[in-house]
Structure 1
Amino acid sequence: MSTTFDNISIGGRLKQLRQEKSLSQSSFSSLLGVSLQAYQNYERGDRPITKDLIVVLMTEFGVEPSWLLSGEQALESHSSLPELNEELLQQIIEGIESLLSKKRKVLPIDKKAKIIVMLYKTASIQQNLDPETIRQLIEIAA
């Protein structure tokens, strides 16, 4: 669960990305596959960012999730990982959200971002996603 401050911070980073790409809100929202009103709500921080939008930003714009969610690291990913595996990223995000929900725990967005990146890098190297690793990281972070 994100806070209003988190949403506003993420919205500011979305605006920064959009302006760096010299795009209007309307053009950027179309590229992201969301309505203009939805995008404006994201940018203002009135709406929490979704996992689907994070995936689109990663795949279409090379945005590093930890930068988007916490402001840490570089805006664009320059890692030596192979091409983004959207299915794996989706599994990681859903696994984290599911476990947090079941355990009724909340993680600050910056910790969640670090766990996503850590799990993605590990699973990419090992070629599998271990649910036990997700559980252990959530236990440590929460």
Structure 2
Amino acid sequence: MGREVADFFTGIGARLAITRNETGLSQTEMAKEIGVSLRAYHSYEKGDRGLPIEALVTLHEKFDSDVNWILLGTKSARIEHDIDALEEFETSLDRFLTDQGIKIKSEKRGAIVARWYRSLTDGKEIQMEAVHTWIELLRE
């Protein structure tokens, strides 16, 4: 798999993790809801595999997920969400991790982003100090 494709799959995986966390489902539950095995679903969130069209359509039908956002990162997960804030947070998070020389697995990074984003959509501002604590708990 080429680097561009791997980056594309990683982005889809991160947005899939956000979508799953918004619904409050575990990976096992989400896999069942969209009709795939847990092993396959886990590989989608990790960015190791592409998400099948059938699973993408099911995500849209069952959870009103924005297909453009999941695939391309454009528009929003739902209209009321602030994607600009999400992108700014992800940039800040990646910059912090790089500056500090911290390595965490992509699914753990996705969990941090999802938790922060969930707080944003719930109207609860999360300070970066709290995010730094989450990072410390998830370090490799």
TM-score (norm 1): 0.51
Identify the residue that residue 54 of structure 2 maps to in structure 1: 52
SS at match of 2:28: helix
SS at match of 2:9: helix
Where structure 1 has 5 or more consecutive residues not aligned to the other structure, the ranges are: 79-142
AA aligned to 1:19 is N
Cα gap change, 1:77 to 1:61, in 2 (>3 Å):
farther
Identify the residue that residue 24 of structure 2 maps to in structure 1: 22
Residue of structure 2 aligned with 1:10, choices 9, 12, 16:
12
Residue of structure 2 aligned with 1:72, choices 66, 74, 83:
74
**Can you list the C-alpha shifts for 1:8-36, whole angstroms capped at 9, x where unaligned?**
00000010111111111101111111110
- Between the aligned partners of 1:9 and 1:41, the Cα distance in structure 2 is 13
- Between the aligned partners of 2:79 and 2:47, the Cα distance in structure 1 is 23
Cα gap change, 1:46 to 1:3, in 2 (>3 Å):
same
Residue of structure 2 aligned with 1:39, choices 31, 41, 50:
41
Deviation at 1:77, TM superposition (A): 6.2
AA aligned to 2:74 is E
Are the counterparts in 2 of residues 68 and 75 from structure 1 also a CA contact under 8 Å?
A: yes
Identify the residue that residue 109 of structure 2 maps to in structure 1: none
Deviation at 1:37, TM superposition (A): 0.3
Residue correspondence of structure 1 range 93-112 to structure 2 within 5 A = none
- Between the aligned partners of 2:39 and 2:72, the Cα distance in structure 1 is 24
TM-score (norm 2): 0.52
| Identical counterparts, % of pairs | 35
Cα gap change, 1:34 to 1:77, in 2 (>3 Å):
farther
- Between the aligned partners of 1:59 and 1:77, the Cα distance in structure 2 is 16
